[in-house]
Amino acid sequence: MRKLLIGLAFAALVFPVGALAGGWATAGVGPPDDGIGPGDTWNAKVTILQHGNPETPLMGVIPTLTIKNGSTTKTFKGTMTNEAGVSTVKVVFPSAGKWSYAVHDGFNAYGGAATHTFAPVTIGAGADGGGFPTLTVTSVIAALAGIAFLLYLLSRRVRVRAPAPTT
């Protein structure tokens, strides 16, 4: 009887876990290129893998990629490629700024569809360090002014004395 109870307790722990084993996926996508700006198209390559395993790419799922900046949210639908588990999503950022993005994997089997979030990206001005380097120029001017002031003080302090007359 004791063995039967232990077996039933073990089965109760194992079966719920086994029922959930097939219903999840991972989504992978790299960030946009550094030079992308507002209105440019980012051809995002999204990879959906069942259980995160490269040997089990998911076929037939269409992911969506959503971008968000403040109150602006836009969602773009993916297109399957010839590569197993890989879709491309053509994303256009409408304005410069910091954008967060997420991929909905589209894996609806077993109720396992999920949204996968990624680190925010900066689009447009400031993304590649472009623009006028105001801080750098100001620092250089301040440093030069400081050196000029020190040289002025030193020139006032050091007096060149004429040699004593020799008779």
pLDDT tens digit string along 69-87?
999 999 999 999 999 989 9
33 closest CA partner among 91, 94, 104? 91
66 closest CA partner among 58, 78, 54, 55? 78
Residue with tokens 């990624």: 118
Q: Which two tokens stand for residue 148?
A: 């000029």
Average pLDDT over residues 85-111: 89
**What dihedral angle (degrees, nearest 10) is formed by the CA atoms of 53, 113, 88, 48?**
0
Element (H, E) at 118: strand 115-123
Average pLDDT over residues 140-160: 80
pLDDT tops 90 at residue 50: no
- pLDDT-based confidence at residue 21 (cuts at 50, 70, 90): low
User: Per-domain residue ranges for the chain?
Assistant: 22-123
The fold adopted by the segment(s) 22-123 is: Immunoglobulin-like (2.60.40)
- pTM, entire model: 0.61
Lowest mean pLDDT among 17-21, 33-37, 70-74, 153-157: 17-21
* 107, amino acid identity: F
Helix (H, G, I), strand (E, B) or coil at 29: coil
| End-to-end alpha carbon distance in the chain | 129
